Structure formats: C-alpha cells, structure tokens
Amino acid sequence: MRQKAIVTVFFLMILLLVACTNTSPQKLKAVGLEEQVPQEEKDGPIRIGFSMDTLLEERWLRDRELFKEAVEALGAEVEIVAANGDDALQISQAEALIQSGIDLLVIVPHNAEATATIVHKAHLAGIQVIAYDRLVKNANIDLYVSFDNERVGEMQAEAITALVPKGNYVFIGGAITDNNAHLLKKGVFNILRPYIERGDITIVYDQWTKDWTPVNAQANMEEALRTTNKQIDAVIAANDATAGGVIQALTVAGLAGQLPVAGQDADLAGVQRIVMGTQTMTVYKPIQILSQKIAELAVAMARGEDVLAEWKVNNGKIEVPSVLLTPIAVDRNNVESTVIADGFHASKDVYQATSKE
Ligand code: GAL
C-alpha cells in the first residue's frame, strides 16, 4: 500500500508532448491519461480551484485559511468552495470551477469513490487534479498529498496498548466513505492484531461513524456501553471529533477519565481534554506543512513544471504519485513541545479549562 519509490509525476503519468500551433511556442506539459487538450498561453496569475468536503470542523477551517494564504503568497489565486458533506453538491461545485477556467483543481473528497467523476471531467478539460489529504479512489488522480494515515492509526494503538495491554477494546471508526478512515483502521489493527491473536485484547465493539460527527460517535459509544454492560477498558476513536462524542457518552456513564481514549487532529477541544485527563492522546498533523506543500506543488504543476513525488499509493486504478508527511503522537507530556511550540494552539487556550496557566 505505502510503497516508496523515487518517481516524478512527470514520468509516472503518461507523458504527452503537446505540440502547439505555429503561432505559439512549443510547451511541455504533464497531463493525465484522458486528455490531450493543449495548454494555452494565458495572461494573468495561475488560478487554482479548491473543492472542499466540509467546513463544519475545526481542522478544515484551518486548512482553508492556510491553503489560501500559501497559494496567494506564491502569486497565484484560489477559488474555494465547500459542499458540507453533500456528494452531488461537491460534484456540481467542482464542475463550475472547471468551467470557470481554473488552471488546476485541488480536491478534499467527501466520498472517495463518488469524486472520481470530477477527476474525469477535469481531465477532459485539460485540468490536472491533486487530492488534498484524502485519496480519490478509482480515478487517474495526478497527485495525492497527505499524512501517513496508516501510521496515525498505528500511533494511536501503540499509545493505548502501552497503557492497556490486556482488556476489552472499542474501536470507533471514521466515515466509511473516507479512504483515510480505512487507512487509519488498518494501522490500528496492525498493532492490535498480535494482542488479539494472543487473546490479550478483545474487540467488543467496532463501528464506522457516519460523516465523522460527534453525535454519531456518541450514539455508537452509547451502544457499546449498553451491549457490553460497560465492560470496556480502552477506546480508540478515529479523530478528536469522534473522541469528543465518545467522551460525552463516557461522562454520562460516569466513566470519563477512567479509561484511555485516543483521537486524532490535535483539535483544540481534544488537546484541552488531554490536559484535563479525559482524553489520553491525539495525533497532531501539522496542517501548515500540508497546505504549504500542496500550494507549491499545485502552482508548479499548473505552470507545467515537473514535480517530485516520493511515494506511490494504489487507489484501485493506478499507482498514484504521492507525498506522505509524518504525523506526531501527542499526549499530556509533549503538548508543550509540539502543538504549543508550533503555534498550532496558544498555551492559554489549551489550559483555559484547568487551573494551570
Ligand atoms: C479525515 C482526516 C482527519 C479528520 C477527518 C474528519 O480524512 O484525515 O484529519 O479531519 O477526515 O474530517
């Protein structure tokens, strides 16, 4: 799955030398498999389209601002749309961006499969597509830039098994429509499998969470508490939003802080729960690095430049040239040296609900 190889996007995709007419200079451009539309010499700055799944979560608001700043700092323009979990809307918004004449499309898919049609349509218009943080499945996507999401799950399970090497585990997964949720689950079970096989750990509940929402995660956790008669020793939740729902259910059951809970994203609420002791760990993914990296690659590709992608990830159709960044495990011992030192959160915000300043 996570195959490392030194490749260039330029060579990995079918390289087409687009011969221009006599009146325009010859130009080399790397394009996807489906299109052969010549890139016209255009006036004005590069225009990037950014199609987002949702702005209903803290991390994506941050992604939007950071990506906009990074693209603009490179002298390009960005047009941003968000579909808030509506697949049909995400497709029609992306179509409108394509028709508006953007130079390149960056997409955070809500649904890994449904968005393949966007990639196809963009390619027909001669527009390359970058998958931002989440992979588009079964499409000739040009580039995928994310964190190592399998590693995120491994980090969660490593931290929790160190505290609870034996017992009943609950896994509250992410959205089944999001490829990251599958990668994370794979990572979690990479670590848990030997414990399960030895009979030390039993998975007493394992469920996806529709659209990653806290309310759906809370309902799942309530069901887990009910069906196990509260015989639960540890919980791994796919992100901090779902961990929030889990901890709400544990609070109602009088169990918050009594068993470890893992999350992901270093959301402010998640980090606050870590210093208060109701959440054990989170996985911090420096979004400023992700957004900066994608902005640089997007503008370079839109200019027809060659870019380097160190990894390959199979999306069911092709080996997608990929850039995978490294996540960081955070617990109460390294909050200061990670998210606070990085300026991801201010110390006063993290500790606002505790006596510590
Ligand atoms: C995932 C992403 C997580 C989290 C989640 C919910 O794709 O990896 O960081 O934000 O979506 O939006």
**Residue range 118-166, pLDDT digits in tens:** 999 999 999 999 999 999 999 999 999 999 999 999 999 999 999 999 9
Statement to judge: residues 130 and 273 lie in one domain: no
Measured by CA distance, the residue closest to atom 7 of ligand 1 is 180
Question: Confidence band (pLDDT; 50, 70, 90) for 213?
Answer: very high
Q: Is residue 265 part of a domain?
A: yes
Residues whose CB falls within 8 Å of the CB of residue 341, separated by 6 or more in sequence, listed in order:
none
Atom of ligand 1 nearest to the CA of 212: 6
pLDDT of residue 70: 98
Long-range contacts of residues 190-195, Cβ cutoff 8 Å, at least 24 apart: 190/150, 190/153, 190/154, 190/157, 191/153, 191/154, 191/157, 191/158, 191/161, 192/157, 192/161, 195/161, 195/165, 195/166
Statement to judge: residues 50 and 125 lie in one domain: yes
Statement to judge: residues 222 and 340 lie in one domain: yes
Q: Compute, in angstroms, the gap from residue 278 CA to the centroid of ligand 1.
A: 21
Statement to judge: residues 205 and 347 lie in one domain: yes
Q: Is residue 19 part of a domain?
A: no
18/39 Cα distance (integer angstroms): 8
Question: Confidence band (pLDDT; 50, 70, 90) for 40?
Answer: very low
Residue 104: both structure tokens together: 């390149």
Atom of ligand 1 nearest to the CA of 285: 9
Share of the chain above pLDDT 70, in %: 87
Statement to judge: residues 185 and 217 lie in one domain: yes
Statement to judge: residues 93 and 53 lie in one domain: yes
Q: Is residue 67 part of a domain?
A: yes
Statement to judge: residues 53 and 164 lie in one domain: no
CATH number of the domain to which 313 belongs: 3.40.50.2300
Contact yes or no for 78/144 (Cβ under 8 A): no
State which of 57, 147, 265 you would mutate to test the pocket of ligand 1, scoring each by most atoms of that ligand within 8 A of its C-beta. 265
Domain span at residue 60 reads: 42-141+287-326
Q: Is the pLDDT of residue 7 over 90?
A: no
Measured by CA distance, the residue closest to atom 2 of ligand 1 is 180
The number of beta carbons lying within 10 Å of the beta carbon of residue 161 is: 21
Q: Is residue 36 part of a domain?
A: no
State which of 54, 58, 146, 180 you would mutate to test the pocket of ligand 1, scoring each by most atoms of that ligand within 8 A of its C-beta. 180
240/281 Cα distance (integer angstroms): 9
Statement to judge: residues 222 and 300 lie in one domain: no
Residue 136: both structure tokens together: 């588009």
Atom of ligand 1 nearest to the CA of 265: 9
Question: Confidence band (pLDDT; 50, 70, 90) for 14?
Answer: very low
Q: Is residue 30 part of a domain?
A: no
Statement to judge: residues 279 and 291 lie in one domain: no
Statement to judge: residues 229 and 337 lie in one domain: yes
State which of 264, 267, 284 you would mutate to test the pocket of ligand 1, scoring each by most atoms of that ligand within 8 A of its C-beta. 264
Share of the chain above pLDDT 90, in %: 85
pLDDT of residue 4: 57
Cα–Cα distances in Å, from 107 out to 53, 64, 174, 291, 307? 8, 12, 19, 12, 18
Q: Is residue 3 part of a domain?
A: no
**pLDDT (average), residues 201-221:** 98
Statement to judge: residues 231 and 345 lie in one domain: yes
Statement to judge: residues 133 and 172 lie in one domain: no
Phi-psi region of 224 (alpha: psi -120 to 50; beta: other; left: phi over 0): alpha
Question: Confidence band (pLDDT; 50, 70, 90) for 28?
Answer: very low
DSSP assignment string, 150-216:
HHHHHHHHHHHHHH-SSEEEEEE---TT-HHHHHHHHHHHHHHHHHHHHTSEEEEEEE--GGG-HHH
Q: Is residue 13 part of a domain?
A: no
Grouping H, G, I as helix, E, B as strand and the rest as coil, residue 15 is strand
pLDDT of residue 2: 58
Q: What is the tens place of the pLDDT at every residue in 229-260? A: 999 999 999 999 999 999 999 999 999 999 99
Q: Is residue 243 part of a domain?
A: yes
Measured by CA distance, the residue closest to atom 9 of ligand 1 is 265
**pLDDT (average), residues 345-353:** 94
Instruction: Give the count of domains, the chain.
Output: 2
Residue whose structure tokens are 């539309």:
37
